[in-house]
């Protein structure tokens, strides 16, 4: 059984906080997937994506993290830095588990936030010898967690789901963890400026060399899914983008300002 130390719980809180800052609108549910694969040469590769369900009276379609920049007129390169930082946090979380785990480390993780509950599912599948590639696993994950089934996808993805549903089911180790939301006093909205003064984009916190969220082939597959989701830019013709608050210092100032505005 996984040992959820005080340090690991603090890392959960940090990941939750960053997710709240990365979504520019009110939402009801969020599902995140990330994998970390140890390579024979000591390198690590993997991927990260998340989907959220916008809040509203009518049923809304899941929004892919990689659609957010166009959807909300955000600078894509700046936003992808935030995604990269988030992936680095996931890798550090896995390394923290390495300190106490003796039976092998998880290879992929699914986090969800819904109804003020935070859930984590750790999977131990050997992704280096998986029956499905990265793209196919993404399609299967969407089916399992978002309910995007055969009737909602194209022919290629239907074939993937059929092969998955009709194929042999392997019993693999899984660990689950659930608790209440750790964070408080955080606005459920992205922190960004709309002033004319540009944000400093050379801050070190936005340029971590570890912020690799997958190789180019994996990114092409993710982009393919993004296009299939059918999300088009609402403001892509605007010349000035909303400026993200990238640095830890800027986010801290934003939090302090928010707390003062909502005190009492």
Tokens 């092409």 belong to 220
| pLDDT tens, residue by residue, 159-183 | 999 999 998 877 788 899 999 886 5
Backbone angles phi, psi at 63, to 5 degrees: -110, 125
Sheet with 117-123: strands ordered across: 63-64, 44-54, 27-38, 108-114, 117-123, 174-180
The CATH superfamily holding the domain 6-252 is: BH3703-like domains (3.30.500.20)
Any residues with CB less than 8 A from the CB of 95 and at least 6 apart, and which? none
| pLDDT tens, residue by residue, 86-116 | 999 999 999 999 888 767 889 999 999 999 8
Q: Is the dihedral of CA 72, 75, 77, 82 positive or negative?
A: negative
**Domain residue spans of the chain:** 6-252
Q: Which of 155, 157, 138, 154 is nearest to 66 (CA)?
A: 138
Cα 68 from Cα 233, distance rounded (Å): 9
Look up the pTM and report it. Answer: 0.77
| pLDDT tens, residue by residue, 211-253 | 445 554 555 555 555 555 544 444 444 456 776 665 667 777 7
Cα 227 from Cα 239, distance rounded (Å): 23
Tokens found for residue 100? 């106490």
| pLDDT tens, residue by residue, 192-218 | 554 433 334 333 333 333 444 555 455
């Amino acid at each position: 059984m996984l040992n959820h130390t005080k340090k690991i719980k603090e890392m959960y809180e940090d990941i939750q906080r960053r997710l709240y800052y990365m979504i520019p609108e009110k939402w009801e549910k969020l599902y995140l997937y990330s994998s970390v694969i140890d390579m024979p040469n000591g390198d690590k590769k993997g991927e990260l994506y998340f989907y959220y369900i916008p809040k509203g009276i009518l049923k809304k379609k899941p929004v892919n993290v990689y659609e957010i920049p166009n959807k909300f007129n955000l600078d894509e390169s700046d936003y992808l830095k935030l995604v990269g930082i988030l992936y680095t946090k996931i890798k550090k979380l896995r390394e923290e588990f390495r300190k106490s785990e003796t039976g092998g480390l998880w290879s992929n993780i699914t986090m969800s936030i819904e109804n003020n509950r935070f859930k984590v599912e750790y999977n131990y599948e050997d992704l280096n010898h998986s029956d499905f590639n990265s793209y196919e696993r993404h399609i299967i994950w969407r089916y399992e967690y978002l309910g995007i089934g055969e009737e909602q996808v194209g022919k290629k993805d239907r074939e993937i789901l059929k092969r998955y549903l009709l194929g042999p089911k392997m019993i693999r180790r899984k660990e689950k963890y659930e608790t209440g939301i750790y964070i408080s006093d955080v606005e459920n909205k992205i922190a960004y400026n709309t002033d004319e003064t540009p944000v400093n984009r050379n801050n070190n916190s936005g340029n971590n060399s570890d912020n690799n969220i997958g190789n180019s082939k994996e990114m092409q597959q993710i982009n393919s899914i993004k296009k299939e989701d059918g999300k088009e830019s609402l403001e892509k013709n605007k010349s000035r983008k909303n400026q993200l608050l990238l640095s830890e210092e800027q986010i801290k100032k934003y939090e302090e300002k928010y707390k003062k505005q909502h005190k009492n």
